[in-house]
A = this chain, B = another copy of it.
Amino acid sequence: MSYELWYWDGIPGRGEFVRLALEAGGIPYRECVRESPDGEEALLADMRARRVHPPFAPPYLVADGLVLAQTANILLYLGERHGLAPASLEGRLWVNQLQLTIADMVAEAHDTHHPISASAYFEEQKDEAIRRAKVFRGERIPKFLGYFEQVLSGPEAWMAGGDRWSYADLSLYHLVDGLLYAFPKRMGTVAARFPNVMALHRHVAALPELQDYFSSGRRLPFGEGIFRRYRELDGK
């Protein structure tokens, strides 16, 4: 059995949190838009045709008769089904809680460049973006990363404890990766305050399970998605 992953092509986006879990878990999946001759038209057509449990937006995953949308919900399922999170109720809910907190920061990172409208151009909301990004850099990056730093018990720790990563660790890795891309100056200033978070970022980058993926063409570079590098939005 192979999962069908439906997401836009060309950006890591929210689909990347799902991809990392599938890849690190060694779980077979098909990247439907990339494999279709119709590309993103195929995604739009597939979404329109779904009457049972329709997704509000990509990414969504199809398997075993299930159609699952919302990144954290997809990961909750994969975590349980494939052992990518602790099996206990407490551990399962804790990892879900962390994932939702990561998702909150991801949404805020996106809104730094689109604070008024996701459907309008950056240039149409640049002044507002500059204001919002300043608050994000000054208040929100320290608050969120300070929280994750406190969750990690040390530089060797995973977020749910124990000796194995969970999907929330993969997601935190990608979030930090995105911040390093989008806010290199700011991260250069503050990263030293979050040694456990930065160590986790290095440990996930070095996971044997992910090396094939990282060196493949499947891992897309940052660009026009959630994490964008605009000179105007970064600063020490």
Q: Which residues of chain A have a CB within 8 Å of any CB of chain B?
A: 53-56, 65-66, 68-70, 72-73, 76-77, 89-90, 93-94, 96-97, 100-101, 104, 107, 111, 115-117, 119-120, 125, 128, 131-132, 135, 139, 144, 147, 150-151
Q: Would you list the 4 A-B pairs with minimal beta carbon distance, nearest first?
A: A70-B100, A117-B135, A73-B97, A56-B101
Min CB gap A27→B, angstroms: 17
**Copies of this chain:** 2
Overall SS of chain A's interface = helix
CB–CB A97/B119 < 8 A: no
Partner of A139, one of B54, B111, B117: B117
Partner of A97, one of B53, B128, B151: B53
| Distance between Cα atoms of A142 and B43 in the complex (Å) | 21
Min CB gap A31→B, angstroms: 21
Min CB gap A208→B, angstroms: 29
CB–CB A73/B53 < 8 A: no
7 contacts between A and B (CB under 8 A): A53-B97, A72-B72, A73-B96, A73-B97, A115-B115, A115-B132, A117-B139
